[in-house]
Amino acid sequence: MDYTNEPVCIKDIEKIAQRVMPGGAWGYYNSGANDEQTKTDNESAFDSYRLHPRMLRDVSKITTHTTVLGQKVRTPLGIAPCALHKLAHADGEAATSRAAAKHGSIMILSTYSTTSLEKVIAQGDGTTQYWMQLYVYQDRHVSETIVRRAEKAGFKAIVLTVDAPMLGRRLVDARNKFNPPPHLRLENFMDPNVVNGTGYAPDLAKSENETFGATFGANGDQSLSWANGISWLKSITKLPIIVKGVLTAEDTQLAIDHKCAGVIVSNHGGRQLDGALSTIDALPQVVEAANDKIEVYMDGGIRKGSDIFKALALGARAVFVARPVLWGLAYKGEQGAFIALDLLQKELELAMMLTGTTQVSEIDESYVYTPVNRWVRHSRRQPGQPRKLLA
């Protein structure tokens, strides 16, 4: 059904975006891997968790202020990294950055931004946190250059994506034979003196580095490991390192062992390994393994303020969204991206009020009913020994 008024929820914005975006661009943003089981589960799994509200509490003053990496933020809702924002709107990541600054939380910028990292952070208000998402390439000098540029520009953390040694098989993109429009540039792979200069024109011939960046599937470092990756990254930057793509207790412990600052429970929006757990289902084991020794964040499937509340209750310090912001960009540029964030923010505040909580620190597992039938797994079978049930 079409409405003539402004969108009132994320689903409304999604419908508008699908209507206004070219089919290939919509497919690129919306698609998941293979049968899209994990992508679908990311959203639907939230419905298995129910809220446990408390009544007759003073909820006249609600605040969502919290801290992330020791820094104060207005809200635990941030923007997850996503490539090619200019597919959604000509102003791209610059518009997203302005919306993030107005919103008052954290923006994680994708390596595959169509706006240089220096231009993106320049759109901030000086108080917004910017984190830089990173892939590690076979030629690590390419990755190192991006890290050093980000640190110099004022980014506050490096977000290392670890769930993509090769890109997942996205059938929609394969059927559409999707390739980004030739006028879009991967500006983080370009010479910053050129791309950030006053004489820069997008129709410049593409550089060798930019072409290299566009072929990640061939150039990603598939030998990257806990042993050879984190120590290398620590050797080239003093910024905190956050590992994105963690879904298990075992990898959470390894992140702690390697002195990472945080982990993002993420399955790449369901775009990598189809059949992996939804992020809200994976979150509890990661939080338990973290044991307050490392900060835990989450992305994937968040479409309502109550989804944010449930993730916070299960132990996430902050959550991040990507598709809703991109849909907002397609709808109305910077204003649309802010509308998407603001809708989620207001829904979170309402969920807090109706559950009897007034600040983020009060939200814990006592406010959520978790499903009785949970996913379980067993240890590896040892000869002569019974299988051990693991959480």
The Cβ of residue 60 has, within 10 Å, a number of other Cβ atoms equal to: 7
Among residues 69, 84, 184, the alpha carbon closest in space to that of 131 is found at 69
To 5 degrees, how large is the angle CA 57–CA 62–CA 65?
135
DSSP assignments along 244-264, one per residue? EEE-SHHHHHHHHHTT-SEEE
225 by Cβ neighbours in 10 Å (0-12 / 13-18 / 19+) ranks as: exposed
CA dist list (Å): 231 to 223, 228, 236, 251: 14, 6, 9, 16
- Mention every residue, 6+ apart, whose C-beta is less than 8 A from residue 89: 95, 329, 330, 333, 336
Which residues sit opposite 129 in a β-bridge?
106
Count each helix (H run) and each strand (E run) in the chain, helices first.
Answer: 15, 14
Q: State how far the Cα of 262 lies from the Cα of 269, in Å rounded to an integer.
A: 19
121 by Cβ neighbours in 10 Å (0-12 / 13-18 / 19+) ranks as: buried
Q: How distant is the alpha carbon of residue 111 from its chain centre?
A: 13
Instruction: Specify the amino acid at residue 95.
Output: A
Q: N- to C-terminal Cα distance for the chain?
A: 43
Q: State how far the Cα of 205 lies from the Cα of 263, in Å rounded to an integer.
A: 38
Q: State how far the Cα of 71 lies from the Cα of 67, in Å rounded to an integer.
A: 5
Query: Would you please indicate which residues are annotated as catalytic (active-site) residues?
Result: 268
Q: Tell me if 127 sits within 8 A of 151, measured CB to CB.
A: no
